[in-house]
Amino acid sequence: MKTDDINELKKIAVKCRKNILRMIRANGSGHLGPAYSCIDIVTALYFHGMNVDPQNPKMADRDIFLLSAGHKSMAQYAALAEAGFFEKNILDTFGQFGSRIPGHPDMHKLPGIEANTGSLGHGLNLACGIALGKKQDGLGAKVFVIMGDGELAEGSNWEAAAVAAHYGLDNLAVFVDHNGLQISGRTKDVMSFEPVADHFAGFGWATKRITGNDMAEIVAAIDAIPFERGKPSLIVADTVKGRGFSKAENQAGYHYWKPSAEDMALAEKELEDDSAGVGK
């Protein structure tokens, strides 16, 4: 399941985007922009970076992934399904009453989900506790988090940023999905936390900035973790919200998408013929 091959990872990211469209088709709507924005990072984590086993999702020395921005859930479900954590026909139940893949991730419903997220501003705090515990048990596991850039407006994140540095959690790595948009517009207009890397560095984190839809750059960043011994790692991942569907790219209006039949067909076609270029 794991690969170092960048082209192979790009192809898997296309399959994951197809899984996302499958969920939206089944449910009639979903967070397309947020899921597409981070799916290249999620793909690289599950298929290159993380020590996880779909056959043994609770293995003691596994790496931990927390999707702090839980509204991006389809990205994680897409990768978990592609990796074999659950049967793909479950994708067709997305968002429906009683589904194992509800709108926001639920650790009690699906193997591979480590925490319930969706209320923004909690994932990093949970991750700090888990990373501290993992350090103490000496198994060498890493903890990975994906946050949104709009999510940084939650003050709880900054307490966690201080805690992670204070305890020297160099087994913790955070990707900020830096797409410049949140639910209702540009992060710089709604609530700005720029420059993101400098704020985390001020608390004592080691930081890198990458293009977050560029598979080679994502893989290089993952391979460099921890960036400095004794410090948590922060990756500002410059992404395009909606990357992979031309109409949605960099559009706040596609944060939550209820597609017409024509638009869904167009989004599917762009993946099929790869006119969006995400597999190239």
In whole angstroms, the minimum distance from the beta carbon of 108 to Mg ion comes to: 27
Cβ atoms of residues 146 and 117 within 8 Å = no
Local structure of 190: helix, strand or coil: helix
If one asks whether residue 243 binds ligand TPP (CB under 6 A), the answer comes out as no
In whole angstroms, the minimum distance from the beta carbon of 249 to Mg ion comes to: 13
Q: How far apart are CA 70 and CA 104, in angstroms?
A: 5
135-173 as b/e: b if 16+ CB within 10 A = beeeeebbbbbbbbbbbbbbeebbebbebbbebbbbbbb
Which residues here bind Mg ion, judged by CB under 5 A? 148-150, 179, 181-182
If one asks whether residue 56 binds ligand TPP (CB under 6 A), the answer comes out as no
φ and ψ at residue 110, rounded to 5 degrees: -145, 130
Query: Cβ-closest residue to ligand TPP?
Result: 148
Cβ atoms of residues 212 and 188 within 8 Å = no
At which residue do the structure tokens 């969006």 appear? 276
146 binds, among ligand TPP, Mg ion, none (CB under 5 to 8 A by kind): none
Q: For residues 139 and 183, which CB has a smaller minimum distance to Mg ion in the complex? A: 183
* Binding residue (CB under 6 A) for ligand TPP from 14, 24, 64, 69: 69
CA dihedral 58, 59, 65, 70 (to 10 degrees): 0
In whole angstroms, the minimum distance from the beta carbon of 74 to ligand TPP comes to: 11
If one asks whether residue 149 binds ligand TPP (CB under 6 A), the answer comes out as yes
If one asks whether residue 82 binds ligand TPP (CB under 6 A), the answer comes out as no
* Binding residue (CB under 6 A) for ligand TPP from 49, 150, 244, 259: 150
If one asks whether residue 241 binds ligand TPP (CB under 6 A), the answer comes out as yes
If one asks whether residue 232 binds ligand TPP (CB under 6 A), the answer comes out as no
Q: How many C-beta atoms lie closer than 10 Å to residue 132's C-beta?
A: 17
If one asks whether residue 71 binds ligand TPP (CB under 6 A), the answer comes out as yes
Q: Is the dihedral of CA 164, 211, 239, 86 positive or negative?
A: negative
- How many residues in the shown chain lie near ligand TPP by CB under 6 A? 21
If one asks whether residue 183 binds ligand TPP (CB under 6 A), the answer comes out as yes
In whole angstroms, the minimum distance from the beta carbon of 148 to Mg ion comes to: 4
